[in-house]
Structures are given as structure tokens and as C-alpha cells.
A and B are shown apart, each in its own frame.
Chain A
Amino acid sequence: MREVLRTDVSHLRRFADALMAARPELAPEDVYWRLHFCLGMVHNNRFAEFDRLHTLSEGATRESDTESLLRKMLDFAEAGFLV
């Protein structure tokens, strides 16, 4: 299973290609790195991590739903693809 996780990238290929087309002024290497960081954002969304964030923010991050979480993630990630 780990082998599949490591080598099966076909589903990410189309995202990398689309991002490179949208940001031709970025070096492909940079696009790959930034996509990699975006995948980290997807995985850092477990309850244990939300709870830790709520503790850190002393409750300031409590009010959130899927829709606003998605918006926050997109705001951050989109800015990450600025040249």
C-alpha cells in the first residue's frame, strides 16, 4: 500500500499540469513544491489538529464550517501561487 501511495501519481499529474498552465511564469519545480505544500494542507485537517488550533487560538478559531474552512484554505493556497 505504501508503494502505491509513493508511486501512483496519475491523479496529481493533471493538477500539476493545470497549475503550470495557469502560472507559466513559475518554474515547474516551484509549482511541484507548492502543490506538495497544498497536499499537506489537505492532510492537516483532522480533529486532533483542529483541537490543538482551538487551544492555541484560545477559542478564536472555534466557529468554522466546511464552507468557510474551504474558503480559508483557498485564500491561503491561492496566495501561495503568486509569482
Chain B
Amino acid sequence: MTDAANPAPTSPDEADAQTEAAQDAAKEAATKAQVLAAAERLFALNGFQNVSVRDITAEAGVNLASVNYHFGSKDALLFEIFRRRTSELNRERARMLHEAADRHEGKPPVREILRALFEPPLRWSSAGSASSSLSAPAARAPRRCARCCAPTSRTCAVSPTR
């Protein structure tokens, strides 16, 4: 604990308890991150409907109860992935728009604005494929839907009409 507001522990017992608590917290955060990564990977490969909570915890190598403990439900886990991904995407869009504004005295031209809107999702969905080519079906890694992380060839789990 480096928090200046907390006085240094006075007894060895107290120090042990604090270390233990910090270790527990770190372990929980690691479990949560493992679950998120595993779920995202499995949803992308197989689609949300085809992945069970058991699949996720097995893939992550964590306790079966971890999904419910950290997220509440499989649905809530999907929402968390979606939330994290979209905020990442929109941060990137905002950054590009900001830079375009800086380059044009605060008033970027239409094309630069649209580039900031289009480019991040385009780059994001083609990242991870063997090449950036859109024309080689055999070389395709599953691209992910920006809304639900399902392969883009499938119906979006979040917005099925899309």
C-alpha cells in the first residue's frame, strides 16, 4: 500500500493482512481479465449463442463460478465486452477528430471528419486477419462485429437486424 492517506502498518500482523488483501485483489483482477479475454475469443470464433459459461471458464482456466461472481451473467459479460470495445473505438475516433481539428485551426473539412468516423472501425475489424485484403476468403481470420464481437459473417447478437 503506497497510499499516503494510510499510515504505515503498526504491527507485523497488520502488514501481513494488508499484503494478503492486495494479493487477493490482484488475483481477482487477473481472473476477471482472463475471463474477458477468453469470452471475447470464444464469442468471436463461435458466436455468443454457441458458447457456454462452462466453455468460457474452461478456456480461461478459472473457477466455474467466476463469470457470475465478476459479471453476474453471460449476458452481462457480453455487455461488458461490448462496452469496453466501443469505448476503445470511440476514444480512437475522438482522438482522430481532435487531431484533424488541430491540423485545421479547429475546423476540419468534411473528409477529415468522416475519416475519423470510418477509419477506426475499419482498421479494427480487419486487424488480426492474415492480410488486410478483403478479397481472399481462404486467408480470412474471423472478423468481429463491432457491436457483439461475433464473427462478422453471423447475425449480430446485439442488433440482429444489422
Contacts and interface: CB of A to CB of B under 8 A. Distances in A.
A74 B132 contact: no
A25 interface: no
Chain B residues touching A, majority SS: helix
Interface string B131-154: 111110100100101110000110
A46 B159 contact: no
B158 A5 contact: yes
B122 A70 contact: yes
A45 B125 contact: yes
Nearest to B76: A1
B132 A73 contact: no
Interface residues of B, number: 44
B110 A50 contact: no
A69 to B, nearest CB: 6
Interface in A1-41: 1-2, 4-5, 11, 14-15, 18-19, 21-23, 38-39, 41
B122 A64 contact: no
Contacts of B107: 21-22
A58 interface: no
A70 B96 CA distance: 15
Main secondary structure of the interface of A (DSSP, over half): helix
Q: Which interface class (under 10, 10 to 19, 20 to 34, 35 or more) fits A? A: 35 or more
A5 B157 CA distance: 13
A22 B109 CA distance: 6
B113 A65 contact: no
A11 B110 contact: no
B88 to A, nearest CB: 11
Interface of B: 75, 78-79, 82-83, 86, 90, 93-94, 97, 101, 107-111, 113-119, 121-123, 125-126, 131-135, 137, 140, 143, 145-147, 152-153, 158-159, 162
Interface of A: 1-2, 4-5, 11, 14-15, 18-19, 21-23, 38-39, 41-43, 45-48, 50-51, 62-67, 69-70, 73-74, 77-78, 81
15 contacts: A4-B79, A5-B158, A15-B93, A38-B114, A46-B145, A46-B153, A47-B143, A63-B135, A65-B131, A66-B123, A66-B134, A73-B114, A73-B118, A77-B118, A78-B110
